[in-house]
């Protein structure tokens, strides 16, 4: 006979559901990643990560509704704010760079970073290389 591998379903009271949504909103406001929120809430309330996704969606919808601004309007306001930061000569270059990064993300212009792992290069092998070998490897990788 096969065993049932599914967990028993957890039902939360209305108060607990509201508590979870408030907790998720607070964590989103703190800048936590969705994966961290899912893990923490799932452990705290014995929920599946999929159930927590529904709470995440509900919390985001409530946050957008509370702003009383359409998402497209908010996106446009953010765009013009970032432009003003970039064009302001009194702003530190670090903040201008950050505004440019945020604008790129807003517009979907980010380029994914590709990292190539080289399994044959261990720290011990790198230490054993001569300066010439290391410089040659460096030049090869930088091309």
Q: Write the DSSP assignment of the chain as a string of letters.
A: -----SPPPP---HHHHHHHHHHHHHHHHTT--HHHHHHHHHHHHT--HHHHHHHHHHHHHHHHHHHTS-HHHHHHHHHHHHHHHHH-TTS-HHHHHHHHHHHHHHHT-PPPPP----TT--HHHHHHS-HHHHHHHHHHHH-
Please say if the pLDDT value at position 62 is more than 60: yes
Number of domain units in the chain: 2
Please state which of the ranges 1-10, 16-25, 29-38, 95-104 shows the lowest mean pLDDT. Answer: 1-10
Residue 136 lies in a domain: no
**Confidence band for 112, pLDDT divided at 50, 70 and 90:** confident
Together in a domain, 103 and 58 = no
Q: For residue 54, what are the domain limits? A: 11-68
Residue 120 lies in a domain: no
Residue 116 lies in a domain: no
Query: Taking the complete model, does pTM exceed 0.85, yes or no?
Result: no
Of residues 68, 67, 66, 46, the one with CA closest to residue 20: 46
Most confident of the ranges 5-9, 94-98, 139-143: 94-98
Total Cβ atoms within 10 A of residue 100: 15
Residue 86 lies in a domain: yes
Residue 122 lies in a domain: no
Interval 54-71 mean pLDDT: 91
């Amino acid at each position: 006979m096969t065993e049932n591998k599914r967990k028993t379903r957890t039902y939360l009271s209305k108060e607990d559901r509201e508590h979870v949504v408030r907790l998720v909103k607070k964590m989103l406001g703190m800048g936590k990643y969705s994966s961290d929120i899912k893990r923490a809430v799932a452990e705290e309330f014995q929920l599946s990560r999929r159930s927590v996704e529904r709470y995440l969606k509900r919390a985001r919808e409530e946050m957008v509704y509370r702003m009383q601004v359409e998402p497209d309007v908010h996106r446009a306001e953010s765009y013009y704010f970032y432009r003003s930061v970039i064009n302001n000569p009194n702003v530190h270059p670090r903040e201008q760079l950050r505004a440019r990064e945020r604008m790129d993300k807003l517009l979907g212009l980010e380029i994914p970073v590709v990292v190539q792992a080289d399994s044959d290069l261990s720290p011990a092998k790198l230490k054993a290389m001569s300066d010439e070998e290391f410089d040659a490897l460096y030049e090869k990788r930088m091309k």
